[in-house]
Amino acid sequence: MPNVRILLAAPLAVALALAAPAMAEERTVPQSRTEMQLSFAPLVKQVENAVVNVYAERVVERRSIFDGDPFFEEFFGQRMPNRSEKQSSLGSGVIVGAKGIVVTNNHVIEGASDIKVALADGREYESTVVLKDERVDLAVLKIKADADFTALPLGDSDAVEVGDLVLAIGNPFGVGQTVTSGIVSALARNQVRSGDFGFFIQTDASINPGNSGGGLINMNGELIGINTAIFSRGGGSNGVGFAIPANLVKTFVASAENGSATFDRPFIGATFDAVTSEVAEALGLDRARGALISQVQAGSPAEKAGMKPGQVVTAVNGVPVEHPDALGYRLTTVGIGGTARITVIANGKEEDLTLSLDRAPETTPRDERLIEGRNPFSGAVVANLSPRVAEELRMPTNRTTAGVVVTEVNRGSPAARIGLQPRDIIIALNGTEVASTESLASLVNEDPSIWRVEIERDGQRIRQFFR
């Protein structure tokens, strides 16, 4: 079987999307030759002024092969300077706010020091990043201009059905603004790419490298998704493209407009597994669907709502949940500060629970500090672990709520040389349990002949000895 690559429709793109009031009318297939000759041109003309090119320029440092080499530094008494060079990329964006609010993919602007936005009529503006998040691959930009822009309203992506006609506008391979058409091929797709977001609209409208940040629009001229990834064997479109649903984009834009520095997801305090056909049969479900609760953290919102291991979450606010990723998506779109009606099934009985959605708490002050001195942890930044810190580090927020975690490792430091990594949990040092950053700072002041270190990484215990 040929290898299949997942490509982010990355640097090089342009967007699309439009708006108009949603019309609750019955969908029909073409009934005559005249209807078959209808054109998308009027719709495209409505959308094109809200589609922008996003030019991102970043400075990349090329490290010298001698950088950090103690032999070189000892004998030459200096560091070989690193070389810097500029790299640029082209992506797409969609104007969703008349005052110049633009949505694009995070990977289009990641690491950029200078971002420009170019409109279809040739106008070009500087822009700033208001909010970005790697996990959902979204970014909100603000055009630096005191002017009004054509904006596309965000549609209801939950109203999208498989088979709906859609348009995509982008700049594939940098050839210029291009419009493609197709249908919605599937909904609630997960396992499309690495990361913690797994809920995409799938379409066969051609999406190629360069379409990242572009829009997917419906026949009412509404933005229903931001194009972000494709399945590809050779780098081009094979008719399997994916878009981030507009309802998540709405929540993300609202967070940016509220001045949030980060995009927070609701803290649940529970872990979920996929429901296999065997599990579904054992639980008396008609098919494999939902999210199986495997663990509930004491004192968490999940416990307070009455969620218990063994229950299967089948719906959020009456909307079916297909898999654990869909559950996370549904709760995220409800938003921080809201409440969700969770439908669970256990022992053949269905029950509705009320779940309060809030940010992950910082149950223990983080007390972040840099470890220094002659010890294996020198050069590591550590913090007291809490659900909030775990969320920021993209760790399972309900796995543990205590301990000391590495948040950063300085390059070339002793901590880096022994292989310490961010998200490592320091369990013990020289046989003494490390309960806090304060206790670690005290323990590293000792001067043993051998350092005995125990850490936890991705659920695995690692024990090492250093002289």
CA neighbor of 137 nearest in space, from 2, 245, 285: 245
CA neighbor of 21 nearest in space, from 219, 220, 157: 220
Q: What are phi and psi of 134, to 5 degrees?
A: -70, -35
How far is 183 from 213, CA to CA, in rounded Å? 19
How far is 108 from 213, CA to CA, in rounded Å? 7
**Using CA of residue 395, residue 398, residue 399, residue 404, what is the dihedral sign?**
positive
Coil, strand, or helix at residue 463? strand
CA atoms within 13 A on the CB side of 40: 20
- Is-catalytic flag, 89? no
How far is 409 from 32, CA to CA, in rounded Å? 66
Alpha-carbon separation of residue 172 from 71, 177, 269, 392 (angstroms): 48, 8, 42, 34
Torsion angle (degrees, nearest 10) of CA 255, 259, 263, 268: -80
Choose, from 137, 204, 264, 325, the residue flagged as catalytic: 137
Choose, from 89, 212, 413, 436, the residue flagged as catalytic: 212
CA neighbor of 366 nearest in space, from 466, 436, 280: 436
Alpha-carbon separation of residue 34 from 31, 37, 38, 39, 80 (angstroms): 8, 5, 7, 10, 71
How far is 219 from 223, CA to CA, in rounded Å? 10
Choose, from 89, 92, 107, 378, the residue flagged as catalytic: 107
By residue count, the chain amounts to: 467
**Using CA of residue 185, residue 188, residue 189, residue 193, what is the dihedral sign?**
positive
**Tokens 């409505």, residue?**
46
DSSP for residue 172: G
DSSP for residue 49: G
- Is-catalytic flag, 137? yes
- Is-catalytic flag, 212? yes
Cite the active site residues: 107, 137, 212
